[in-house]
Each structure stands twice: as structure tokens, then as C-alpha cells.
């Protein structure tokens, strides 16, 4: 009997080849990012770009520590007529430890307009999370607290690199020194300070949830979370209400909930936690402390509506009414079109609108069984 030693159909080999391709692709993307940053640094230090004079950053950089992470706050003022966007922020320090950091930007606004509670990006009435800066704003740099094994003091330098209509410019960031003594910078979350909120938001993971309350729930958002769940309210001017888990449980200590005003039986939540375990513990606690509440990911809300009996019955009623209107429009279209041809275009447009409405309701009904 011949033994085929070909491994072309070997599933293990195919799996390993796929993993090798993924690793090569990831390495290539890292090389591209590193090369891009090298180009920026060469441009910056080679002085082929000009030093920006229309962007000001004060030398006073505020520092906070939360969840074993540093948060450096750079306040920035844009004096130019152009919006600051597509900014590349390159930081480096004199430590031998690796330096991995994340960048968050918040822009100041003169006029508050939340508009859409479901997708609101405002943190306070005059500050929102964004990728651009019109006039003034704050840039936050977040990184893990180093071990300070080889140094007792670490100096951080950096530049902001940007392209504009007038050419390539770079903005030098103020030097910052960090030491083990900075432990006294630990966040005091019971103090109502916007900087504390920005730090907590930037150092944690953000999840969008929806809280669905029982019918005829007459308690306010504040009473629900303060009185029933023992959360502490943070008083800042915002379209949201902020509540922090302070001295409730070590499982979700310092978790933050941002809540828009209640709409009918639901409200939109943004939850900031350190990890998934803390998020799950927080959700379980809310379910146990607020009778009848249902908290689900925003992504699954449409699926919940389809499975909800009340919603399904209303949807069926709306579909029946819409179908009836469409049938009447068809009958009217046939009658009037044979009498007066000038009404054909108008009747056709009305019929199309009714047909779209009916089709949309039918599609929603089709999803109910899932």
C-alpha cells in the first residue's frame, strides 16, 4: 500500500500557515507605523518643517494617577483660522522601559448642542470628546505607571506634528518629569472636578448600554441610582448625570456611569470600567439593587424590541394600518389615473411613500421570530 506523505490537505498545516500569515501581516503593519513615526521624527528634528506659532501650549501640565496609569493633561489653544485635525503626537522618554501610550482629545465649545442623546459625545456643557480642536481643548496622554527600576526620575518630551494648508508644522510639547513621589497625585473622585472626570474616562474602557425600566417607573434617575443603588452623584454642568461607585464594592470600585435623561421606559448609559470583570459585576449589582430593570448592550436593543410582546403587537397593528392605507391608495390611483392623467405623477409618489413605509414595517415584523 502506498503512503501519501503530502501535507497539502493537512488541517494543522493549513491552520499554522494562516497564523503565520496573520503574524506577518501584523508585523508589516507595525513596521509601517514605526517607519511613519521615524519620518515624523526626522522631519521634526531635521527642521524641514516649521515651528508653529499659531498654537500655544502652556508649560503647566497637569498630572493625575488612576488605576495604575498616569494621565498627562496638555491644554492647547489654537490661534489660527484652521481647525486642528489629523494630529500626530509623538512622545519619548529617557527610561529603558517600553513606552506605550494612548491619546485622547477634548475640544471646548462655545455653544452647547447635544442634539442626539444616543450618540452624544459631550462630557460637559462646554467640552466634548473629538478628534479636532477649533479654538481651545485638552490633549490627554495615558500610560502605565513605570516601575522606576533604573531611574528615580523620568523625563518625557514630545511633539505634535500636523499638516495644514500652509505646510507642515510641529508643536513642541512642554517637558514633564515623573517620579515615584507622584503617588500623591492619585485621583480624588469625590471632588467635583472636570479634570477628574476626563482622567477617569480616559483611563477606563467605555461601553454603551441601555437601561430599560419597568412600566410606570416613577422614580427619577437621581433617586434610582443614589437612593436605591448607593451611587455618588458628581455635580458638573452637563447634559448627562454622572454617578460613581464609591465605597460600594471592591469588585467595581470607582466605576463611572454617565446617564442621559430618561426617555419613556429607557435611558442611554455610558459605563466606564477598568475591565470586563468589573463591568459584569457592576451590571449584576444594578440588576439586584433596582427591581425590574433590564440592562443590555446598546447593540442588542433592536433585538430586544423584536422579542418584546408589547412591541410586536404594536408593530403588527402599525403594519395592518399601513397596509390598509396602501391598498386604499392603489384603489384611488387606479380610479383617478383613468379619469385625469395629470394626477398620475402625484399619485405615484404618494403610493411609493406608503409602499416604503409598509415594506419597512414588514421587515421589522420578519425579525420578530428571531
Total-model pTM: 0.68
Asked if 73 contacts 138 with a C-beta cutoff of 8 angstroms, the reply is yes
Asked if 38 contacts 99 with a C-beta cutoff of 8 angstroms, the reply is no
Instruction: Write down the pLDDT at residue 154.
Output: 92
Instruction: Write down the pLDDT at residue 285.
Output: 93
Q: Which CATH architecture has domain 51-185?
A: Sandwich (2.60)
Q: Which of 287, 311, 313 minimizes the C-alpha distance to 301?
A: 311
Task: Give, for all 370 residues of the chain, the pLDDT tens digit.
Answer: 344 444 445 556 766 777 788 888 878 777 776 666 666 556 555 544 445 678 889 888 999 999 889 999 999 998 888 888 888 888 988 888 888 899 999 998 876 666 666 667 778 777 888 888 888 999 999 999 998 888 889 999 998 888 777 777 888 899 999 998 887 777 766 567 788 889 999 999 999 998 988 877 778 888 889 888 999 998 888 888 899 998 899 999 989 999 887 677 788 899 999 999 999 999 999 999 988 888 888 887 777 766 665 555 666 666 667 767 767 666 666 666 655 555 555 666 666 676 777 666 656 555 544 4
Q: Which of 263, 57, 290 minimizes the C-alpha distance to 160?
A: 57
Distance CA 296, CA 227 (A): 22
Distance CA 83, CA 85 (A): 6
- The domain ranges of the chain are 51-185, 204-304, 310-366
Alpha carbon 290 to its chain centroid, in Å, reads: 26
Sheet of 266-273: strands edge to edge? 232-234, 241-244, 256-259, 266-273, 205-212, 294-297
The fold of 204-304 is: Alpha-Beta Plaits (3.30.70)
Distance CA 280, CA 252 (A): 9
Angle at 42 between CA 37 and CA 44, to 5 degrees: 95
Amino acid at each position: 500500500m502506498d503512503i501519501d506523505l503530502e501535507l497539502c490537505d493537512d488541517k494543522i498545516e493549513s491552520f499554522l500557515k494562516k497564523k503565520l500569515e496573520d503574524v506577518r501581516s501584523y508585523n508589516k503593519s507595525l513596521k509601517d507605523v514605526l517607519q511613519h513615526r521615524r519620518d515624523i521624527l526626522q522631519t521634526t528634528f531635521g527642521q524641514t518643517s516649521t515651528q508653529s506659532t499659531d498654537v500655544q501650549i502652556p508649560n503647566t501640565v497637569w498630572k493625575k494617577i488612576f488605576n495604575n496609569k498616569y494621565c498627562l493633561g496638555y491644554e492647547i489653544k489654537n490661534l489660527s483660522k484652521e481647525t486642528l485635525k489629523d494630529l500626530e503626537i509623538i512622545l519619548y522618554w529617557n527610561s529603558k522601559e517600553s513606552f506605550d501610550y494612548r491619546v485622547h482629545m477634548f475640544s471646548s465649545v462655545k455653544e452647547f448642542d447635544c442634539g442626539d442623546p444616543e450618540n452624544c459625545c459631550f462630557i460637559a456643557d462646554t467640552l466634548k470628546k473629538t478628534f479636532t480642536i477649533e479654538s481651545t481643548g485638552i490633549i490627554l496622554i495615558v500610560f502605565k505607571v513605570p516601575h522606576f527600576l533604573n531611574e528615580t526620575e523620568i523625563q518625557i518630551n514630545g511633539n505634535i506634528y500636523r499638516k495644514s494648508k500652509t505646510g507642515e508644522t510641529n508643536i513642541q510639547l512642554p517637558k514633564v518629569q515623573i517620579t515615584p513621589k507622584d503617588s500623591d497625585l492619585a485621583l480624588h473622585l469625590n471632588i467635583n472636578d472636570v479634570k477628574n472626570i476626563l482622567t477617569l474616562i480616559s483611563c477606563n474602557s467605555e461601553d454603551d448600554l441601555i437601561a430599560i425600566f419597568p412600566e410606570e417607573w416613577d422614580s427619577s434617575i437621581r433617586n434610582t441610582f443614589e437612593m436605591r443603588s448607593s451611587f455618588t452623584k458628581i455635580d458638573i454642568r452637563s447634559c448627562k448625570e454622572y454617578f460613581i461607585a464609591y465605597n460600594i464594592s471592591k469588585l467595581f470600585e470607582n466605576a463611572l456611569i454617565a446617564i442621559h435623561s430618561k426617555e419613556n421606559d429607557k435611558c442611554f448609559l455610558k459605563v466606564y470600567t477598568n475591565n470586563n470583570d468589573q463591568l459584569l459585576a457592576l451590571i449584576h449589582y444594578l440588576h439586584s439593587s433596582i427591581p425590574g430593570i433590564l440592562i443590555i448592550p446598546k447593540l442588542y436593543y433592536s433585538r430586544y424590541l423584536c422579542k418584546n410582546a408589547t412591541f410586536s403587537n404594536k408593530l403588527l397593528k402599525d403594519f395592518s394600518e399601513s397596509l390598509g392605507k396602501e391598498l386604499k391608495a392603489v384603489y384611488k390611483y387606479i380610479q383617478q389615473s383613468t379619469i385625469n392623467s395629470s394626477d398620475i405623477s402625484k399619485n405615484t409618489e404618494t403610493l411609493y411613500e406608503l409602499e416604503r413605509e409598509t415594506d419597512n414595517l414588514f421587515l421589522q415584523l420578519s425579525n420578530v421570530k428571531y
